[in-house]
Amino acid sequence: MPALIVGNWKMNGLGDDIAEIAAMAGSAANSASRLWIAPPFTLIDRAVIVSAGAVSIGGQDCHAKPSGAHTGCISAAMLADLGAGFVIVGHSERRRGNGETDADVRAKAEAARAAGLQVILCIGETQAQHDAGETDAVLAAQLAGSLPADAEGLIVAYEPVWAIGTGLTPTLADVAAAHACIRERLTARYGGGGHGVRILYGGSVTPANAADLLKVADVGGVLVGGASLTAASLLAIAAAA
């Protein structure tokens, strides 16, 4: 299975930066990895056009409702309407900064599936939880509260909160243990369907550490923030895979 390299641009990117997505798309055919990019909402339309299917384009969040009086919000159907293929839900920056609960994340994941989008569902422990040895319990609780009813179209991203944007990464043994814990929960929840759910690692992935992370058992790809903003950097990560 080729590695899946997903770029999360967060609140970065103006019109000129579409050139980076065009460059990623231009090289995607030569890559052994699959490339997905989640630019800000404002660039999705243009990103879909310049990537011409070579790179899948997605959203970083969606509302749980299909439509209605929710000023400033974007529904999963709106993303699909623009040509998006996936959406990230439950990123720790939204859990923390926007007060999203596991139940909110589950509702968003269900909404995304109903709109035909693939879902990247993010979970991960804080530094304090990590230091207290609570990682497995935290991941299990987040999965229990946020997994959608069906494994179809689902991807889980393990993103330790303390590793995001910090330059810190867990040891490879810790990544392996976390992914094994997630796999166990997925198969307990979905049976055979849980084996087919891809699990990504995210948090300070760079061209320098990507190869080692991608060799860890059950790491099916990476979710990349800062190092996904330029084609040179993202393609170097894809090459490392």
Q: Interface with ligand PGA by CB under 6 A: which residues? A: 8, 159, 164-165, 202-205, 223-227
In whole angstroms, how close is the CB of 73 to ligand PGA at the nearest point? 21
Q: Is 195 a catalytic residue?
A: no
Q: Which of 20, 93, 125, 159 is catalytic?
A: 159
Cα–Cα dist 119/111, whole Å: 10
CB of 7 to ligand PGA, least distance (A): 9
Which residues sit opposite 4 in a β-bridge?
34, 221
Residues in the chain: 241
For residue 102, the one-letter residue type is: D
Backbone dihedral region for residue 175 (phi beyond 0: left; psi -120 to 50: alpha; all else: beta): alpha
CB of 166 vs ligand PGA, minimal distance in Å = 7
Q: How many CB atoms lie within 10 A of CB 195?
A: 11
Q: Which helix (H) or strand (E) covers residue 45, if one does?
A: helix 41-51
Judged by beta carbon, residue 67 or residue 166, the one nearer ligand PGA is: 166
CA nearest to 125, candidates 88, 163, 179: 163
Amino acid at 219: V
Residue among 63, 91, 130, 179 flagged as catalytic? 91
Closest to ligand PGA by CB, 77 or 120: 120
Task: Give min distance, CB of 220 to ligand PGA, in A.
Answer: 15
Does residue 130 carry a catalytic annotation? no
Indicate the residue among 27 and 209 with the shorter CB distance to ligand PGA: 209
Nearer to ligand PGA, 66 or 167 (CB): 167
Q: Return the active site residues.
A: 91, 159
